[in-house]
Amino acid sequence: MIRFAPRLALAAALAAAPGVAGAQEITLRVVSAFPENLYYVKRLVDWIQKVNAEGKGTLQLNFIGGPKAIPTFEVGNALKTGVVDMAMSTGAYYTNLMPEADALKLTQLPAAQLRKNGAYDYINKVWAEKANMYYLARVVDDTPFHLYVNKKIDKADLNGLKLRITPVYRDFFQALGGTVVQIAPGEVYTALERGVVDGYGWPIHALFDLNWQEHTKYRVDPGFYNAEVSLIVNLDKWKALTQAQRAYLTKQALAFEAQNEEWKKYNAEEAQRQAKAGIQTIRFDAATSKQYLDKAYEVGWAGIIKASPEHGPKMKALFSK
């Protein structure tokens, strides 16, 4: 386990003493809930380099690492409690703190629109109350999830299949009859290799980063939901920043979020790459596809609303087309 306390104490002392030389530059400790060989993390590291190059004297980011530093499903709590200052994660990985987090997969509007229609304000209200977090920016958008299987299926019936999940897929795959087991991304390769699972949920992209194509026979189309990966900040740390530091971080985060327009093209390339690697597509007919998608959203929202009768319906109204 990494010891963070001494540096935290130093950072706190500097933040509390604005007269001290150097107090106007702050360094935030950043972790990723995704394994470091994922494309997501490469993008994060590139962004951090830019933030640091342009942020001298204002704000610096120190990338600590991925799940080897803090395990995937513990990142949320580490951020809430201030063990780290910033994280790249997805809502499904911190449903232990707040079930509402998983609703971000159900957004049907691009981030820019969610900023305008009040959805981000609402997210920030709930994230602050429940998880002591500031929701900074979404860095994956416009990306469907898919079911990948190693046994051929010809209808939307998952009876007899054992599937790797995170909370993203749990209610949906169970509603289709599947048996589910939660596994962090870093451990999926071994589960596939050993035949512990017959398939898994994952976005259309980035399975090559983890070599899962070596043990994947079929991708089921259509995709469903909208993969969400975001930057989140410990709320106390966010509030302790100066106005200039907050403005700087916001500007850089918005620039990162604006890169979301690249996902569509990347995803098309990734689908081709899967075909070249021999992953076959199982395509449902139009009527089955519609039923499959309707079911995905129906059980997705039902799960959120059941877990959060207070915020679920409001999020649904703000997130849906």
* Interface with ligand 173, residue 202, by CB under 6 A: yes
Return the number of the residue (63 or 148) whose C-beta is nearest ligand 173. 148
What are the phi and psi torsion angles at 267 (to 5°)?
A: -65, -35
CA angle 149/35/174 to nearest 5° reads: 35
> How many angstroms separate the Cα of 288 from the Cα of each of 20, 218, 231?
65, 17, 36
What is the x/- site pattern for ligand 173, positions 137-176, by CB under 6 A?
---x-------------------------x-x--------
Among 178, 203, 303, 312, binds ligand 173 (CB under 6 A): 203
Give the binding-site size for ligand 173 (rule: CB under 6 A). Answer: 12
* Interface with ligand 173, residue 229, by CB under 6 A: yes
Q: Which residue stretch of 16-24, 111-119, 201-209, 296-304 sits at the interface with ligand 173 (rule: CB under 6 A)?
A: 201-209
Return the number of the residue (15 or 307) whose C-beta is nearest ligand 173. 307
* Interface with ligand 173, residue 90, by CB under 6 A: yes
* Interface with ligand 173, residue 186, by CB under 6 A: no
Return the number of the residue (178 or 201) whose C-beta is nearest ligand 173. 201
The answer to whether the CB of 204 falls within 8 A of the CB of 271 is yes
Give the CA dihedral 274, 276, 281, 285, nearest 10 degrees.
110
| 152 phi-psi bin (left φ>0, alpha ψ -120 to 50, beta other) | beta
* Interface with ligand 173, residue 92, by CB under 6 A: yes
Q: How buried is residue 190: exposed, middle or buried, by Cβ count under 10 Å (0-12/13-18/19+)?
A: exposed
* Interface of this chain with ligand 173, residues 242 to 301, rule: CB under 6 A: none
Q: Which residue stretch of 2-10, 208-216, 223-231, 299-307 sits at the interface with ligand 173 (rule: CB under 6 A)?
A: 223-231
DSSP annotation string for 172-236:
HHHHTT-EEEE--GGGHHHHHHTTS-SEEEEESS-SGGGTGGGG--EEEEEEES---EEEEEEHH
Task: Supply 230's token pair.
Answer: 């975001």
Q: Which residue stretch of 73-81, 210-218, 224-232, 295-303 sits at the interface with ligand 173 (rule: CB under 6 A)?
A: 224-232
Interface with ligand 173 (CB under 6 A): 90, 92, 140, 166, 168, 185, 201-203, 227-229
